[in-house]
Amino acid sequence: MYEAGTGGAGTPGAVGFANAAAGGQVSINPDEAQTALAKIRSGKDTVNELLTKASRLNEQPQLGANQVGNAMATKMATRADGAGSYTDALRKLYGQYQKAEEGLVTAMQNYQSNEQDGARQFGGLA
């Protein structure tokens, strides 16, 4: 069983939730999940826009044609991309949104499948 906050099976966050849903441990009524799904998709869109804008941060700023200015410009340009950068953080956040969306969609499918199985067990009366 998936336990909120643990990610199930020791995997934290959205990845754990997606894994638990894929394993059939989570089911969510699709009617109840639409608001959350819309917010997740909105968040993904916002992060995607920020990633597009962040690509412009890789350009070296013009800080002066001297040793200090050139060194600072190079350092600032490398901070925008690469490990531990703003762009890297946005990519990781986008990945979390993606996993949350996948998990929620799978959990909704699980719910529908459970409902259909229940209906079959009771002769289609669900």
Domain edges within the chain: 32-109
Q: How confident is the model at residue 1 (pLDDT cuts 50, 70, 90)?
A: very low
- Report whether pLDDT(74) > 90: no
How far is 41 from 101, CA to CA, in rounded Å? 7
Per-residue pLDDT at 95: 95
Span 1-10, mean pLDDT? 48
The verdict on pTM exceeding 0.85 is: no
Task: List Cβ neighbours of 6 (8 Å cut-off, separation of 6 or more).
Answer: 12, 16
Is 88 in contact with 4 (CB distance < 8 Å)? no
Nearest one of 45, 8, 36 to 108, comparing CA atoms = 36
Q: How confident is the model at residue 90 (pLDDT cuts 50, 70, 90)?
A: very high
How far is 102 from 104, CA to CA, in rounded Å? 6
